[in-house]
A and B are shown apart, each in its own frame.
Chain A
């Protein structure tokens, strides 16, 4: 499989200024050693708690941040080698859908101008194309002549999507595209994204903290914890048969709209440690009931469990068998 999007050992370390009252330079390991391949037309879901590095990873892919290690290759092009006009042209190919639809639109521009602007930036201004895009995302002339504050959150997100697909990109990064929307609107936008993905053969990275949303849209899912991918696999395989104790914890924590499952939830313990000084070895060991000596001394590598399903946990087999025993 040659990926449309390939991340090779990508890392991002932010350096914090030393504090005025002493102490040395500190580093935040926002993203560490991430290897990923996303095939053309595939949607990869990226999940994890706030602070786990999802959005930093998105910025690295979008070339809004430069990785401190490794490289990002989109459709065979490594953008860190490009500068100036060449980089600008390359950016046509990867676009982003943002979380807050209202805040990501210029309040002084009408919808028509917002969608038209990106076309103009690339010398492709065309009112016909704007109309075409509006139809694609389900907006009418009525909406195009309004300012963002006159439109609802769902309508604004449609504008954001129209803007993202305007230049026929191959890759879309959607960073929490529906988390600011109400349930009934969320379904409309998820359906729209799903349709466009098929119609335009988009490759997509879909970032969300909402596991049920991710389970609906993604072909494969990667789970991040403190800057590392701890588990990755086909959506169904990962949700039905989670291997990493963190993935299990995340899934158990999701409130299910079924009162019957109320008492089935296992206790969730602890909170995310600081990425400034993460635990040695496996980052998750401080919250893990199964952690042993090995987990403190050795960083677990992603290793295959079942086909494409891979997990970074020394104890995956032990955990699986002990949980099965409990069930029996």
Chain B
């Protein structure tokens, strides 16, 4: 059902299937590839103890371009993420949890993030 294999009890019961008129993600390329929306769990990165398994299997997006741009200027993301992709996400894309303009997204298997990208521009733009 989901794009990635998820742990038990994941997504959390608070996560909902809702539409977002605009979501933004810092990405390494223009246009972005589907793998640029992979979670760190899928990329096989070791998970710190401070993050739960479910969140580790999610994809981070923002509801405001400015926030996606600002985080892309932090040291760990800056060398990698030089673009911000703008997505339109309709109901049926997956389950998500919104907190402080940040969205943890667990995409459904059928959802293709790249087709949802409507625009992509440089971080400085």
Please indicate whether A and B come from the same complex rather than being unrelated chains. no
Query: Which residues of B approach A to under 8 Å, CB–CB?
Result: none
Residue positions of A touching B, CB distance < 8 A: none
